[in-house]
Amino acid sequence: MIRPAPSIDALPAATPFIGPERLMREQGRGELVRLGANESAFGPSPIAVAAMRAEMDRVAWYGDPDSLELRDALAIKHGCSPENVLVGAGIDDVMGLAVRGWVAPGGLAVASRGTYPTFEYHVRGYGGRVERVDYRDDGTPDYQALIARAHAVKPAIVYLANPDNPSGAFAPRKQIERFYAALPDDTLFVLDEAYADFVEDEELLAPTFDDRLFRMRTFSKAYGMAGARIGYVLTTLQNIGTLQKIRLQYGVNRNAQIGALACLRDDEFKRRVVTETARGRDEYAALARELELAVLPSRTNFVCIDVGDATRATRIVAELLKRGVWIRKPGAPPLDRCIRASVGTAPMRAAFAQALRDVLVEVPA
């Protein structure tokens, strides 16, 4: 009789996400307007696509386990040493390493209730527990309550996404500096900056290398490389040394490394994506005004629209799916009264707008 390790056996069977491909299969649909996973509708830089296509013949070679060239380029971007950078298969991967590295079995983490679910998935998966702090009713993380809880329970990790997911809220530099300074000395601050490329560098925490800070970035959002699975950590040499003991040495796709390096050489493309994303957010805000709904302020590539209550939000998501528009919604109060739509291209936004108008008639407040 084969039994899993007891701590794994005890885990629930829940899956954090259902993919759109499964929904398409269940619905018998060949395609969906993909606005559910905050992918970039504007794709990656054509320079990155060309670089990846050119190297495709060499996919028989493993990628460089040290990502030397990419780390050199990232060190220049962030004003640090390549030794301060560790590349992984997206933030999900490096976040898992953070949890595995610092949260011992039975250990604690603190995070907002309903924030990016993969964080809690990892903490539970490695035998820890998340102490959850409610979002404020306006949908912003409750920074003061997170600090207070951290001092009360002394967690191994405090997790915060900034800009935040799923709310879209953004805390500017000074506020994050104060938040970070106020955390307990022996707590690792895991700062998820997946959406940081949508704000200006000057608005973000300055380059800071301190064992207490574990900062994560990705090529999945503004750089349009979600399918490539590539992201990285910025932290101290000591923390990187811990990750080196447990990371998958050959975990990153070679083509993803090549594409990411090329993305960094096309800042102009990224700027256009950021501009077009802001335009799309404005359009969603105008749509919400037309429909007499409120939107949450967002500095990301998605917008939460407040539809009044969680039941209605769930029904709207289901009805949109029947019309071929795939979005998601936050799972926990108070944000669960919202639907969350990624910024698409202009035609995708128009399809979403028309479908939402139709659906709201059928799903009244």
List the interface residues with a second copy, window 42-61 (CB under 8 A).
42-44, 49, 52-53, 56-61
Q: Where are the alpha helices (DSSP H) in the chain?
A: 6-9, 20-27, 46-55, 68-78, 91-102, 117-125, 143-153, 173-182, 237-244, 254-264, 267-290, 310-322, 346-362
Least distance from a second copy to the Cβ atom of residue 326, Å: 11
Our CB check for a second copy shows the closer of 45 and 169 to be 45
Our CB check for a second copy shows the closer of 23 and 332 to be 23
Helix (H, G, I), strand (E, B) or coil at 80: coil
Our CB check for a second copy shows the closer of 65 and 308 to be 65
Q: Is residue 267 close enough to count as binding a second copy by CB under 8 A?
A: no
Computed over its alpha carbons, how large is the radius of gyration of the chain? Answer: 20
Number of neighbours of residue 172 by Cβ within 10 angstroms: 15
Query: Residue 54 is inside which H or E element, if any?
Result: helix 46-55
Number of neighbours of residue 292 by Cβ within 10 angstroms: 8
Contact code string over 281-310 relative to a second copy, x by CB under 8 A: ------------------------------
Does residue 347 have a cis peptide bond before it, meaning omega lies within 30 degrees of 0? no
Residue 55, C-beta contacts closer than 8 angstroms, at least 6 positions apart: 254, 255, 258
Q: Is residue 7 close enough to count as binding a second copy by CB under 8 A?
A: yes
Helices 91-102 + 237-244 axis angle, to 10: 90
Residue 83, C-beta contacts closer than 8 angstroms, at least 6 positions apart: 237, 240
Our CB check for a second copy shows the closer of 82 and 297 to be 82
CA distance 255 to 51: 9
CA distance 212 to 236: 9
Angle value at C-alpha 144, between 140 and 148, nearest 5 degrees: 135
Least distance from a second copy to the Cβ atom of residue 293, Å: 28
Helix (H, G, I), strand (E, B) or coil at 335: helix
Q: Is residue 80 close enough to count as binding a second copy by CB under 8 A?
A: no
CA distance 306 to 90: 30
- Name the CA dihedral angle for 239, 242, 247, 250, rounded to a multiple of 10 degrees: 80
For residue 292, how far is the Cα from the chain centroid? Answer: 29
CA distance 242 to 102: 9
Our CB check for a second copy shows the closer of 5 and 361 to be 5
Binding-site member from 80, 85, 92, 166 for a second copy (CB under 8 A):
92
Q: Is residue 76 close enough to count as binding a second copy by CB under 8 A?
A: no
Binding-site member from 255, 277, 298, 300 for a second copy (CB under 8 A):
255
Least distance from a second copy to the Cβ atom of residue 66, Å: 6
Binding-site member from 188, 234, 296, 310 for a second copy (CB under 8 A):
188
Least distance from a second copy to the Cβ atom of residue 144, Å: 23
Q: Is residue 81 close enough to count as binding a second copy by CB under 8 A?
A: no
Binding-site member from 71, 149, 212, 349 for a second copy (CB under 8 A):
212
Q: Is residue 105 close enough to count as binding a second copy by CB under 8 A?
A: yes
Our CB check for a second copy shows the closer of 188 and 317 to be 188
Least distance from a second copy to the Cβ atom of residue 360, Å: 28
Judged by CB under 8 A, the chain residues 219 through 248 that form the site for a second copy are 220, 224-229, 239, 241-242, 244-246, 248
Binding-site member from 185, 202, 268, 362 for a second copy (CB under 8 A):
185
Contact between 66 and 188 under an 8 Å Cβ cutoff? The reply is no
CA distance 264 to 365: 45
Residue 318, C-beta contacts closer than 8 angstroms, at least 6 positions apart: none
Our CB check for a second copy shows the closer of 43 and 297 to be 43
Contact code string over 117-156 relative to a second copy, x by CB under 8 A: -x--x---x------------------------------x
Binding-site member from 80, 85, 194, 256 for a second copy (CB under 8 A):
256
Q: Is residue 331 close enough to count as binding a second copy by CB under 8 A?
A: no
Placement of tokens 């290398």 in the chain: 209
Binding-site member from 76, 83, 104, 308 for a second copy (CB under 8 A):
104
Q: Is residue 102 close enough to count as binding a second copy by CB under 8 A?
A: yes
